[in-house]
A and B are shown apart, each in its own frame.
Chain A
């Protein structure tokens, strides 16, 4: 109940923000924060709840992005169709990756390497295939209008991504309260023990990665609509894979609000870094690297874990007084 109330509160706070924010810069910041929260929510399903650390979520993200772009730019189909098919495409690619790696029992770093390899293979394929526009990428024709899922005003995207993030939060909450989620967490904690209790670990992991890939596919379609441009490096490059996993790791893996908190913290940090240290190329990645080490060493349960500990101490302090 408390988490549900939290999601409702989050929606109520976020909803009026575009009207209150005078600056487009801050609105843009919020749109990108929400966008990466969505990508983090996707990773969190299979990585956070399921403990399967994917290093290649760009494979699913990029598939969604290309799905939206190819259907519009090459086939001239409606934007909403690309948007609707992006999760199907992302989920399908995730299904193939998941089937192959889980079928052969890949765990831990082996699974991470295979997902990384799949993303790279897709990047190279997108670079060489004709229908993806090769290395020069695809441009989606500028035609603002809600029917084309293009918004002249940034706030249009804001509401779109906010709605998707709230849907993602509700989905995460459902995972926590369902048999599927209970089994997924059990597989993460101890796969053999879970199987002994009747959990079909293979099927559960496969469902988790397909769900995760579908959400990442939606995030890809959002990205394509926002920038109206997709190229192999943007779609399948390691940047998206790293963002997808860093956001929930910083925020708190296997928690509903982890990805949102993580995305906010990461992008505040990267903005701060940019204004303090200037626009040095690769600076963000260096900052992320340092942050990742700090998180793993000192806060393995992320910001959500930190908040929980602080609250517990606070409650105990009050009880003592």
Chain B
């Protein structure tokens, strides 16, 4: 469904993303992980059209979407959420979600109906008339998810929708995301720091470090990969850990 080949982007002297290859098959749930500043959010911005890659191509359902505008890419069925939630603060939950719903629903009534159904799906059904700026962090994350889902996407890019949530809330979102894939057939690519969520949700994980893909595979294989451990804990950490285990 999504295919990135040799995608690179630098800001001045900083190489944010370097030659990343990635594939997301239809119907899968995949994750991108990596330490802070690894280039995950930049990669999402490149895929969703908010940034244009310096080199490399991005294909979505067979079409080259490299460098297209975000609104065009969204209309094709690829939608992203923001790590720092970006609610339409002055609007209610229902109105927020309706903005997304309007993409496939011209009439106001039909968009509002669709918005209500989507809000219920992510567990915001009882907050429809609440202003978005009065929501808790957990609810804002759900709103971010609901708005994106209301555009009826084929592929959903979730940028840390679980960051800052407590373990119960994480479990709820994990269940919601899984149902989005299972019930609606939406393919999901997520950036996540919450390893508990990555382990239970993702079928395949890509690890970025300093803009480069350093490993990929199943969550279990990734967690055991010494390169990944070193990326997170520093050079030599993997051998020290196994050494400590032996002693």
* Chain B residue, CB-CB nearest to A189: B88
How many B residues are at the interface, by size bracket?
A: 20 to 34
Given the complex of chains A and B, what is the CA–CA distance between A283 and B71 in angstroms?
48
Residues of A within 8 A of B98 (CB): 182
Given the complex of chains A and B, what is the CA–CA distance between A195 and B79 in angstroms?
10
Known: A182-B108, A185-B91, A190-B88. A201 touches B71 (CB 8 A): yes
Known: A178-B108, A198-B75. A186 touches B99 (CB 8 A): yes
Asked if residues A189 and B91 are in contact (CB atoms below 8 Å), the reply is: yes
Asked if residues B79 and A196 are in contact (CB atoms below 8 Å), the reply is: yes
Known: A197-B79, A198-B75, A198-B151. A182 touches B48 (CB 8 A): no
Chain A residues 87 to 102 lying within 8 A of chain B, measured CB to CB, are: none
Residues of B within 8 A of A200 (CB): 69, 71
Choose among A178, A182, A195 the residue that contacts B70 (Cβ–Cβ < 8 A). A195
* Chain B residue, CB-CB nearest to A193: B86
Chain A residues 145 to 169 lying within 8 A of chain B, measured CB to CB, are: none
Chain B residues 125 to 168 lying within 8 A of chain A, measured CB to CB, are: 147-148, 150-151
* Chain B residue, CB-CB nearest to A177: B108
Given the complex of chains A and B, what is the CA–CA distance between A185 and B95 in angstroms?
10
Q: Answer whether residue B80 sits at the interface, using C-beta atoms and an 8 A cutoff.
A: yes
Residues of B within 8 A of A178 (CB): 108
Asked if residues B86 and A190 are in contact (CB atoms below 8 Å), the reply is: yes
Residues of B within 8 A of A194 (CB): 88, 99
Residues of A within 8 A of B48 (CB): 196
Choose among B74, B89, B95, B102 the residue that contacts A179 (Cβ–Cβ < 8 A). B102
How many A residues are at the interface, by size bracket?
A: 10 to 19
Q: Answer whether residue A271 sits at the interface, using C-beta atoms and an 8 A cutoff.
A: no
Choose among B90, B95, B99, B108 the residue that contacts A197 (Cβ–Cβ < 8 A). B99
Encoded as 1 (CB less than 8 Å from any B CB) or 0, chain A from 187 to 208 comes to 0011011111111110000000
Choose among A179, A182, A185, A193 the residue that contacts B82 (Cβ–Cβ < 8 A). A193
Chain A residues 220 to 271 lying within 8 A of chain B, measured CB to CB, are: none
Known: A197-B74, A198-B74, A199-B71. A185 touches B111 (CB 8 A): no
Q: Answer whether residue B87 sits at the interface, using C-beta atoms and an 8 A cutoff.
A: yes
Q: Answer whether residue A66 sits at the interface, using C-beta atoms and an 8 A cutoff.
A: no
Choose among A177, A179, A186, A198 the residue that contacts B88 (Cβ–Cβ < 8 A). A186
Residues of B within 8 A of A185 (CB): 88, 90-91, 95
Q: Answer whether residue B103 sits at the interface, using C-beta atoms and an 8 A cutoff.
A: yes
Asked if residues A179 and B70 are in contact (CB atoms below 8 Å), the reply is: no
What are 11 A-B pairs with beta-carbon distances under 8 A?
A178-B108, A179-B108, A182-B99, A186-B99, A190-B86, A192-B82, A194-B99, A195-B70, A195-B74, A198-B79, A198-B103
With A182-B111, A185-B88, A196-B79 given, name 10 new contacts (CB 8 A): A179-B111, A185-B91, A185-B95, A186-B88, A189-B89, A190-B89, A196-B86, A197-B99, A197-B151, A198-B71
| Minimum-distance CB pairs A-B, first 4 | A189-B88, A198-B74, A193-B86, A198-B103
